[in-house]
Amino acid sequence: MNSESHPDTIFLHELRVQTVVGIWEWERKIRQTVSIDLEMAADIRRAAKNDSIEDTLNYKSVAKRVKQFVEDSEFQLVETMAEKIAETVLAEFELPWIEVRVSKPGAIRGAKNVGVLIRRHR
């Protein structure tokens, strides 16, 4: 990553999506809530100077795309879901890097949350 060309980060935290995810037969029959956090490379200087959405990464567009992608998916593992989210967003929004956290709140008795965090470069 070249920190000079992309020194900033745009983030989207706790995007909650209902989807089919899990390895157990009962999980394949229901929709569960996953929580998704994204941290994405950006250079916001031009957008800040011009005060224009056209000059920055539109996080509403990213959220809409990720939500639709995850709702339509039926992954067994959150690891696979995270990897495919990263691939999709990197390619479609032409980002140099992304960090993706996918959580399944309440999946483990006694734990508030469980999930995976990955960082990928284009």
Residues with active-site annotation: 104
Alpha-carbon distances, residue 63 vs 35, 60, 94, 96, 99 (angstroms): 12, 5, 15, 18, 14
| 25-34 long-range contacts, CB within 8 A, separation 24+ | 28/74, 32/104, 32/107, 33/104, 33/105, 34/70, 34/78, 34/81, 34/102, 34/103, 34/104
* Separation CA 64–CA 77 (nearest Å): 22
Helix (H) or strand (E) holding 61: helix 59-71
